[in-house]
Homo-oligomer: A and B are copies of this chain.
Amino acid sequence: MTETGVLAPAGFVAGGTASGIKPGSVADLAIVATADRRAVPAAGVFTTNLACAAPVQVSRAHLANGEAAAIVLSSGNANAATGDQGRADATRMTELTGTGLGCAAEDVLVCSTGLIGYFMPMAALESGIPALCADLNGGAAAADAILTTDTVRKEAVATVGAGPGLVGGMAKGAAMLAPAMATMLATLTTDVQVAPDVLRVALSTAVATTFNRLLVDGSTSTNDTVLVLASGASGVSISSRAEVHAFTDAVTDVCGSLAEQMARDAEGATKFVRIIVNGAHTSEEAHRAARCVAGSQLVQCSFNGEDPYWGRILSELGASGAMFDPEAVTISYNGTTACRNGIDAGTDAATLAEVMAEPEIEVVCDLDAGQGTATMLFTDLSHAYIDENRGTS
Protein backbone atom coordinates (compact mmCIF):
# COMPACT_ATOMS: atom_id res chain seq x y z
CA MET A 1 0.00 0.00 0.00
CA THR A 2 1.30 3.45 -0.85
CA GLU A 3 1.26 5.59 2.27
CA THR A 4 -0.40 8.99 1.83
CA GLY A 5 0.08 10.54 5.26
CA VAL A 6 2.20 10.25 8.39
CA LEU A 7 3.61 6.84 7.38
CA ALA A 8 4.95 8.03 4.02
CA PRO A 9 8.24 9.12 5.62
CA ALA A 10 10.33 6.15 6.82
CA GLY A 11 10.69 5.24 10.47
CA PHE A 12 7.16 5.63 11.86
CA VAL A 13 4.26 3.51 13.03
CA ALA A 14 0.67 4.65 13.54
CA GLY A 15 -2.81 3.42 14.25
CA GLY A 16 -6.33 4.35 15.29
CA THR A 17 -9.24 2.79 17.12
CA ALA A 18 -12.58 3.38 18.83
CA SER A 19 -11.84 3.58 22.54
CA GLY A 20 -15.27 4.63 23.73
CA ILE A 21 -14.81 8.41 24.13
CA LYS A 22 -17.38 8.82 21.37
CA PRO A 23 -20.54 6.75 21.44
CA GLY A 24 -21.25 4.07 18.85
CA SER A 25 -17.82 2.55 18.14
CA VAL A 26 -16.65 5.63 16.22
CA ALA A 27 -12.87 5.90 15.93
CA ASP A 28 -11.60 8.41 18.51
CA LEU A 29 -8.01 7.52 19.46
CA ALA A 30 -4.82 7.66 17.37
CA ILE A 31 -1.11 7.13 17.96
CA VAL A 32 1.86 8.15 15.81
CA ALA A 33 5.29 6.98 17.01
CA THR A 34 8.81 6.34 15.86
CA ALA A 35 9.21 2.75 14.68
CA ASP A 36 11.96 2.06 17.18
CA ARG A 37 10.34 4.10 19.97
CA ARG A 38 13.43 6.32 20.04
CA ALA A 39 12.98 9.97 20.99
CA VAL A 40 13.72 12.10 17.91
CA PRO A 41 13.78 15.83 17.14
CA ALA A 42 10.25 17.21 17.48
CA ALA A 43 8.57 20.61 17.35
CA GLY A 44 5.13 22.04 17.98
CA VAL A 45 3.03 25.13 17.38
CA PHE A 46 0.26 25.59 19.90
CA THR A 47 -2.80 27.79 20.33
CA THR A 48 -2.14 31.28 21.68
CA ASN A 49 -5.33 31.03 23.75
CA LEU A 50 -4.66 31.87 27.41
CA ALA A 51 -7.24 29.26 28.37
CA CYS A 52 -5.31 26.52 26.61
CA ALA A 53 -6.38 22.93 27.19
CA ALA A 54 -4.63 20.47 29.51
CA PRO A 55 -3.07 18.41 26.68
CA VAL A 56 -1.54 21.62 25.27
CA GLN A 57 0.01 22.37 28.65
CA VAL A 58 1.37 18.82 29.01
CA SER A 59 2.70 18.64 25.44
CA ARG A 60 4.44 22.00 25.79
CA ALA A 61 6.24 20.69 28.89
CA HIS A 62 7.16 17.39 27.25
CA LEU A 63 8.54 19.23 24.22
CA ALA A 64 10.85 21.43 26.28
CA ASN A 65 13.89 19.28 25.38
CA GLY A 66 13.05 19.37 21.63
CA GLU A 67 12.50 15.63 21.38
CA ALA A 68 9.62 13.17 21.40
CA ALA A 69 9.00 9.51 20.54
CA ALA A 70 5.22 9.39 20.17
CA ILE A 71 1.99 11.38 19.94
CA VAL A 72 -1.35 10.20 21.30
CA LEU A 73 -4.41 12.01 19.93
CA SER A 74 -8.05 11.71 20.99
CA SER A 75 -11.26 13.18 19.58
CA GLY A 76 -14.69 13.80 21.12
CA ASN A 77 -13.54 15.62 24.26
CA ALA A 78 -11.14 18.59 24.27
CA ASN A 79 -10.01 18.14 27.90
CA ALA A 80 -10.16 21.95 28.11
CA ALA A 81 -11.43 23.99 31.09
CA THR A 82 -10.84 20.94 33.24
CA GLY A 83 -8.26 22.29 35.73
CA ASP A 84 -6.00 20.01 37.79
CA GLN A 85 -8.05 16.93 36.92
CA GLY A 86 -7.57 17.67 33.24
CA ARG A 87 -3.79 17.96 33.60
CA ALA A 88 -3.67 14.70 35.56
CA ASP A 89 -5.75 13.01 32.85
CA ALA A 90 -3.56 14.30 30.01
CA THR A 91 -0.44 13.22 31.88
CA ARG A 92 -2.00 9.79 32.47
CA MET A 93 -2.58 9.49 28.71
CA THR A 94 1.15 9.97 28.12
CA GLU A 95 1.97 7.38 30.82
CA LEU A 96 -0.38 4.80 29.30
CA THR A 97 1.10 5.44 25.86
CA GLY A 98 4.69 5.28 27.12
CA THR A 99 4.01 2.01 28.92
CA GLY A 100 2.18 0.54 25.96
CA LEU A 101 4.83 1.49 23.41
CA GLY A 102 7.92 1.11 25.57
CA CYS A 103 9.13 4.69 25.80
CA ALA A 104 9.27 7.34 28.52
CA ALA A 105 6.01 9.17 29.30
CA GLU A 106 7.99 12.42 29.04
CA ASP A 107 8.69 11.57 25.39
CA VAL A 108 4.97 11.28 24.59
CA LEU A 109 2.99 14.31 23.36
CA VAL A 110 -0.79 14.46 23.72
CA CYS A 111 -3.56 16.19 21.73
CA SER A 112 -7.29 16.19 22.32
CA THR A 113 -10.17 17.71 20.39
CA GLY A 114 -13.86 17.97 21.13
CA LEU A 115 -16.16 19.67 23.60
CA ILE A 116 -14.81 22.14 26.14
CA GLY A 117 -15.56 21.81 29.85
CA TYR A 118 -15.97 18.08 30.33
CA PHE A 119 -13.61 15.67 32.13
CA MET A 120 -12.03 12.95 30.00
CA PRO A 121 -13.70 9.50 30.22
CA MET A 122 -10.50 7.93 31.54
CA ALA A 123 -11.94 4.40 31.94
CA ALA A 124 -12.19 4.22 28.15
CA LEU A 125 -8.59 5.35 27.75
CA GLU A 126 -7.19 3.07 30.48
CA SER A 127 -8.14 0.13 28.27
CA GLY A 128 -8.14 1.84 24.88
CA ILE A 129 -4.57 3.14 24.84
CA PRO A 130 -2.89 -0.21 25.73
CA ALA A 131 -5.09 -1.98 23.16
CA LEU A 132 -4.12 0.51 20.44
CA CYS A 133 -0.40 0.29 21.33
CA ALA A 134 -0.66 -3.47 20.78
CA ASP A 135 -2.30 -3.06 17.36
CA LEU A 136 -0.88 -0.12 15.41
CA ASN A 137 -3.00 -0.67 12.33
CA GLY A 138 -1.73 2.05 10.00
CA GLY A 139 -1.73 5.68 8.98
CA ALA A 140 -5.20 5.75 7.48
CA ALA A 141 -6.73 4.44 10.71
CA ALA A 142 -4.84 7.13 12.64
CA ALA A 143 -6.04 9.87 10.28
CA ASP A 144 -9.62 8.65 10.60
CA ALA A 145 -9.54 8.50 14.38
CA ILE A 146 -8.79 12.21 14.85
CA LEU A 147 -11.75 13.38 12.75
CA THR A 148 -14.77 14.91 14.44
CA THR A 149 -17.33 16.58 12.19
CA ASP A 150 -14.99 16.27 9.22
CA THR A 151 -16.46 14.28 6.35
CA VAL A 152 -13.19 13.18 4.73
CA ARG A 153 -9.76 12.03 5.91
CA LYS A 154 -7.07 14.71 5.55
CA GLU A 155 -3.53 13.61 4.62
CA ALA A 156 -0.65 15.07 2.65
CA VAL A 157 2.89 14.18 1.56
CA ALA A 158 5.69 16.28 0.07
CA THR A 159 9.20 15.51 -1.06
CA VAL A 160 12.10 17.51 0.36
CA GLY A 161 13.89 19.04 -2.61
CA ALA A 162 14.79 16.29 -5.08
CA GLY A 163 14.26 13.61 -2.44
CA PRO A 164 14.44 11.04 -1.07
CA GLY A 165 13.52 12.82 2.19
CA LEU A 166 9.77 13.10 2.77
CA VAL A 167 7.33 15.06 4.91
CA GLY A 168 3.93 13.55 5.67
CA GLY A 169 0.96 14.77 7.64
CA MET A 170 -2.59 14.29 8.81
CA ALA A 171 -5.07 16.77 10.22
CA LYS A 172 -8.58 17.26 11.46
CA GLY A 173 -10.35 20.30 10.20
CA ALA A 174 -12.66 21.25 12.95
CA ALA A 175 -11.09 24.46 14.10
CA MET A 176 -12.72 27.36 12.49
CA LEU A 177 -14.54 25.13 10.05
CA ALA A 178 -16.83 22.87 12.00
CA PRO A 179 -16.21 24.57 15.24
CA ALA A 180 -18.65 22.65 17.46
CA MET A 181 -15.57 20.64 18.19
CA ALA A 182 -13.55 23.82 18.43
CA THR A 183 -10.11 22.52 17.57
CA MET A 184 -7.66 22.10 14.76
CA LEU A 185 -5.05 19.37 15.08
CA ALA A 186 -2.31 18.40 12.66
CA THR A 187 0.51 15.89 13.01
CA LEU A 188 3.44 15.82 10.62
CA THR A 189 6.26 13.34 10.25
CA THR A 190 9.50 13.50 8.32
CA ASP A 191 12.34 11.07 7.77
CA VAL A 192 15.07 13.67 7.36
CA GLN A 193 17.80 14.24 9.92
CA VAL A 194 17.24 17.71 11.31
CA ALA A 195 18.13 19.54 14.50
CA PRO A 196 15.25 20.44 16.84
CA ASP A 197 15.77 24.20 16.46
CA VAL A 198 15.75 23.98 12.66
CA LEU A 199 12.63 21.82 12.83
CA ARG A 200 10.95 24.37 15.09
CA VAL A 201 11.67 27.28 12.79
CA ALA A 202 10.59 25.33 9.70
CA LEU A 203 7.28 24.40 11.33
CA SER A 204 6.59 27.93 12.60
CA THR A 205 7.34 29.36 9.18
CA ALA A 206 5.06 26.86 7.49
CA VAL A 207 2.18 27.40 9.93
CA ALA A 208 2.34 31.18 9.54
CA THR A 209 1.48 31.03 5.85
CA THR A 210 -0.88 28.03 5.89
CA PHE A 211 -3.00 27.18 8.95
CA ASN A 212 -2.76 30.78 10.16
CA ARG A 213 -4.17 32.01 6.82
CA LEU A 214 -7.33 29.98 7.15
CA LEU A 215 -10.32 31.64 8.77
CA VAL A 216 -13.93 30.69 9.08
CA ASP A 217 -15.16 32.22 12.29
CA GLY A 218 -12.09 33.89 13.72
CA SER A 219 -12.12 31.92 16.93
CA THR A 220 -8.77 30.81 18.36
CA SER A 221 -9.48 27.52 20.05
CA THR A 222 -8.25 26.14 23.35
CA ASN A 223 -6.64 23.11 21.69
CA ASP A 224 -5.08 24.05 18.32
CA THR A 225 -1.87 22.08 17.94
CA VAL A 226 0.48 21.25 15.07
CA LEU A 227 3.27 18.76 15.82
CA VAL A 228 6.13 17.26 13.80
CA LEU A 229 8.46 14.35 14.52
CA ALA A 230 11.68 13.81 12.53
CA SER A 231 12.81 10.17 12.44
CA GLY A 232 15.96 10.69 10.36
CA ALA A 233 15.31 7.26 8.82
CA SER A 234 15.89 8.43 5.23
CA GLY A 235 19.47 9.35 6.04
CA VAL A 236 18.91 12.71 4.35
CA SER A 237 20.53 15.47 6.40
CA ILE A 238 19.16 19.02 6.58
CA SER A 239 21.82 21.51 7.47
CA SER A 240 22.89 23.83 4.64
CA ARG A 241 20.81 26.89 3.92
CA ALA A 242 19.54 25.38 0.67
CA GLU A 243 18.57 22.18 2.46
CA VAL A 244 16.72 24.12 5.16
CA HIS A 245 14.82 26.07 2.49
CA ALA A 246 13.88 22.90 0.64
CA PHE A 247 12.78 21.26 3.87
CA THR A 248 10.75 24.31 4.94
CA ASP A 249 9.10 24.32 1.53
CA ALA A 250 8.12 20.66 1.91
CA VAL A 251 6.69 21.27 5.40
CA THR A 252 4.83 24.30 4.02
CA ASP A 253 3.42 22.23 1.16
CA VAL A 254 2.07 19.62 3.57
CA CYS A 255 0.59 22.25 5.92
CA GLY A 256 -0.85 24.15 2.97
CA SER A 257 -2.48 21.05 1.55
CA LEU A 258 -3.98 20.12 4.92
CA ALA A 259 -5.28 23.68 5.43
CA GLU A 260 -6.93 23.65 2.01
CA GLN A 261 -8.47 20.26 2.74
CA MET A 262 -9.91 21.76 5.93
CA ALA A 263 -11.47 24.69 4.09
CA ARG A 264 -12.93 22.43 1.39
CA ASP A 265 -14.45 20.16 4.03
CA ALA A 266 -15.92 23.03 6.08
CA GLU A 267 -19.28 21.89 7.37
CA GLY A 268 -22.12 23.83 5.90
CA ALA A 269 -19.89 25.83 3.59
CA THR A 270 -20.91 26.06 -0.05
CA LYS A 271 -18.07 28.31 -1.23
CA PHE A 272 -14.31 28.01 -0.96
CA VAL A 273 -12.95 31.56 -1.17
CA ARG A 274 -9.34 32.66 -1.58
CA ILE A 275 -8.80 36.38 -1.01
CA ILE A 276 -5.60 37.97 -2.25
CA VAL A 277 -4.83 41.53 -1.19
CA ASN A 278 -2.18 43.13 -3.38
CA GLY A 279 -0.69 46.61 -3.41
CA ALA A 280 -0.85 47.20 0.33
CA HIS A 281 1.64 49.52 1.99
CA THR A 282 3.20 46.49 3.74
CA SER A 283 2.50 42.76 3.77
CA GLU A 284 1.41 43.08 7.39
CA GLU A 285 -1.25 45.59 6.29
CA ALA A 286 -2.21 43.31 3.40
CA HIS A 287 -2.70 40.48 5.87
CA ARG A 288 -4.72 42.67 8.21
CA ALA A 289 -6.96 43.75 5.33
CA ALA A 290 -7.40 40.19 4.01
CA ARG A 291 -8.24 38.92 7.50
CA CYS A 292 -10.83 41.66 8.03
CA VAL A 293 -12.62 40.71 4.81
CA ALA A 294 -12.35 36.96 5.46
CA GLY A 295 -13.72 37.32 8.98
CA SER A 296 -16.70 39.49 8.02
CA GLN A 297 -20.04 37.79 8.60
CA LEU A 298 -21.53 40.16 6.05
CA VAL A 299 -19.04 39.22 3.35
CA GLN A 300 -19.51 35.54 4.22
CA CYS A 301 -23.29 35.96 3.85
CA SER A 302 -22.83 37.60 0.45
CA PHE A 303 -20.90 34.55 -0.79
CA ASN A 304 -23.59 32.27 0.61
CA GLY A 305 -26.10 34.20 -1.51
CA GLU A 306 -23.76 34.34 -4.54
CA ASP A 307 -24.11 38.13 -4.38
CA PRO A 308 -21.21 40.11 -5.94
CA TYR A 309 -21.58 42.80 -3.27
CA TRP A 310 -18.07 44.30 -3.59
CA GLY A 311 -19.20 47.30 -1.48
CA ARG A 312 -19.00 45.16 1.64
CA ILE A 313 -15.50 44.04 0.76
CA LEU A 314 -14.42 47.67 0.26
CA SER A 315 -16.03 48.57 3.57
CA GLU A 316 -14.11 45.80 5.40
CA LEU A 317 -10.84 46.85 3.73
CA GLY A 318 -11.55 50.38 4.95
CA ALA A 319 -12.29 49.19 8.49
CA SER A 320 -9.18 46.99 8.68
CA GLY A 321 -6.69 49.63 9.70
CA ALA A 322 -4.65 49.27 6.50
CA MET A 323 -3.85 52.66 4.96
CA PHE A 324 -4.75 53.29 1.32
CA ASP A 325 -6.89 55.49 -0.89
CA PRO A 326 -10.36 53.91 -1.09
CA GLU A 327 -10.81 55.57 -4.46
CA ALA A 328 -7.85 53.70 -5.94
CA VAL A 329 -9.07 50.20 -5.07
CA THR A 330 -9.84 47.48 -7.61
CA ILE A 331 -11.79 44.34 -6.65
CA SER A 332 -12.31 41.31 -8.88
CA TYR A 333 -14.05 37.93 -8.57
CA ASN A 334 -12.31 35.12 -10.50
CA GLY A 335 -10.73 37.70 -12.77
CA THR A 336 -13.90 39.68 -13.44
CA THR A 337 -13.53 43.25 -12.18
CA ALA A 338 -16.51 44.46 -10.13
CA CYS A 339 -15.02 47.63 -8.61
CA ARG A 340 -12.48 49.98 -10.20
CA ASN A 341 -11.13 53.16 -8.54
CA GLY A 342 -13.39 52.49 -5.58
CA ILE A 343 -16.64 52.65 -7.52
CA ASP A 344 -18.76 50.28 -9.58
CA ALA A 345 -16.82 49.01 -12.61
CA GLY A 346 -20.00 48.70 -14.65
CA THR A 347 -19.62 44.98 -15.30
CA ASP A 348 -22.92 43.50 -16.39
CA ALA A 349 -24.87 41.59 -13.76
CA ALA A 350 -25.16 38.39 -15.79
CA THR A 351 -21.39 38.02 -16.06
CA LEU A 352 -20.94 38.55 -12.33
CA ALA A 353 -23.78 36.16 -11.51
CA GLU A 354 -22.07 33.44 -13.53
CA VAL A 355 -18.81 33.98 -11.65
CA MET A 356 -20.47 33.98 -8.24
CA ALA A 357 -22.19 30.66 -8.95
CA GLU A 358 -18.83 28.88 -9.09
CA PRO A 359 -17.93 26.78 -6.01
CA GLU A 360 -14.43 28.27 -5.74
CA ILE A 361 -13.92 32.01 -5.93
CA GLU A 362 -10.70 33.98 -5.92
CA VAL A 363 -11.16 37.58 -4.83
CA VAL A 364 -8.31 39.93 -5.72
CA CYS A 365 -8.20 43.36 -4.07
CA ASP A 366 -5.57 45.80 -5.29
CA LEU A 367 -5.07 48.68 -2.86
CA ASP A 368 -2.60 50.57 -5.09
CA ALA A 369 -0.58 51.68 -2.06
CA GLY A 370 2.61 49.62 -2.22
CA GLN A 371 4.03 46.13 -2.70
CA GLY A 372 2.50 44.33 0.29
CA THR A 373 0.56 41.17 -0.45
CA ALA A 374 -1.27 38.47 1.54
CA THR A 375 -3.65 35.57 0.96
CA MET A 376 -6.35 34.10 3.19
CA LEU A 377 -8.74 31.17 2.74
CA PHE A 378 -12.30 31.36 4.00
CA THR A 379 -15.79 30.04 3.39
CA ASP A 380 -19.33 31.35 3.31
CA LEU A 381 -21.67 31.55 6.30
CA SER A 382 -24.61 29.18 5.96
CA HIS A 383 -27.65 27.91 7.80
CA ALA A 384 -25.76 24.62 8.21
CA TYR A 385 -22.94 26.37 10.11
CA ILE A 386 -25.46 27.68 12.60
CA ASP A 387 -27.19 24.31 12.89
CA GLU A 388 -23.84 22.64 13.51
CA ASN A 389 -23.05 25.05 16.31
CA ARG A 390 -26.35 25.74 18.02
CA GLY A 391 -25.98 22.91 20.49
CA THR A 392 -23.42 20.55 21.91
CA SER A 393 -25.55 17.45 21.84
Q: Which A residues are within 8 Å of any B CB, using their own CB? A: 48-52, 78, 80-83, 85-86, 115-118, 179, 182, 217-222, 295-298, 301-302, 304-305, 307, 309-312, 314-319, 322-324, 326-327, 329, 339, 341-344, 381-383, 385-386, 389-392
Knowing A51-B326, A51-B342, A179-B298, say if A315 contacts B80 (CB, 8 Å): yes
Bound complex: CA A116 to CA B307 (Å)? 13
Least distance between A293 CB and chain B CB atoms (Å): 11
A297 touching B218, Cβ below 8 Å: yes
Knowing A83-B341, A115-B311, say if A326 contacts B179 (CB, 8 Å): no
Q: Which 3 A-B pairs have the closest CB atoms?
A: A305-B390, A51-B318, A116-B311
A50 touching B323, Cβ below 8 Å: yes
Which of A296, A318, A323 has the largest number of chain B CB atoms within 10 A? A318
> Which residues of chain B are within 8 angstroms of A86 by Cβ–Cβ distance?
343
B326 touching A50, Cβ below 8 Å: yes
Bound complex: CA A35 to CA B311 (Å)? 37
> Which residues of chain B are within 8 angstroms of A311 by Cβ–Cβ distance?
78, 80-81, 115-117, 182, 222
> Which residues of chain B are within 8 angstroms of A298 by Cβ–Cβ distance?
179, 182, 217, 219, 389
Bound complex: CA A389 to CA B304 (Å)? 9
Knowing A81-B311, A222-B318, A391-B307, say if A297 contacts B343 (CB, 8 Å): no
A307 touching B390, Cβ below 8 Å: yes
Which of A83, A310, A339 has the largest number of chain B CB atoms within 10 A? A83
Q: How many copies of this kind of chain does the complex include?
A: 2
> Which residues of chain B are within 8 angstroms of A182 by Cβ–Cβ distance?
298, 311-312, 315
Least distance between A365 CB and chain B CB atoms (Å): 12
A81 touching B51, Cβ below 8 Å: no
Main SS class of interface, A: loop
B296 touching A217, Cβ below 8 Å: yes
15 further A-B contacts with Cβ under 8 Å, apart from A78-B311, A83-B341, A219-B316, are: A49-B318, A50-B317, A51-B319, A51-B342, A81-B339, A83-B342, A115-B311, A117-B314, A179-B297, A182-B311, A182-B315, A219-B297, A301-B390, A302-B390, A381-B386
Bound complex: CA A324 to CA B49 (Å)? 12
Least distance between A85 CB and chain B CB atoms (Å): 8
Which of A305, A311, A326 has the largest number of chain B CB atoms within 10 A? A311
A83 touching B381, Cβ below 8 Å: no
> Which residues of chain B are within 8 angstroms of A52 by Cβ–Cβ distance?
318
In the complex formed, the residue of B with least CB distance to A48 is B319
> Which residues of chain B are within 8 angstroms of A222 by Cβ–Cβ distance?
311, 314-315, 318
Which of A50, A78, A179, A305 has the largest number of chain B CB atoms within 10 A? A50
Least distance between A357 CB and chain B CB atoms (Å): 13
> Which residues of chain B are within 8 angstroms of A386 by Cβ–Cβ distance?
301, 304, 381-383, 386
Least distance between A6 CB and chain B CB atoms (Å): 28
In the complex formed, the residue of B with least CB distance to A217 is B297
B301 touching A389, Cβ below 8 Å: yes
A392 touching B309, Cβ below 8 Å: yes
A314 touching B116, Cβ below 8 Å: yes
Which of A116, A117, A343, A385 has the largest number of chain B CB atoms within 10 A? A117
B343 touching A81, Cβ below 8 Å: yes
> Which residues of chain B are within 8 angstroms of A49 by Cβ–Cβ distance?
315, 318-319
A219 touching B319, Cβ below 8 Å: yes
Least distance between A212 CB and chain B CB atoms (Å): 14
Bound complex: CA A329 to CA B80 (Å)? 14
Bound complex: CA A317 to CA B116 (Å)? 13
Bound complex: CA A317 to CA B295 (Å)? 18
Bound complex: CA A383 to CA B315 (Å)? 23
Would you mind naming 7 contact pairs between A and B with Cβ atoms under 8 Å apart?
A49-B319, A50-B319, A51-B317, A51-B326, A83-B343, A117-B310, A222-B311
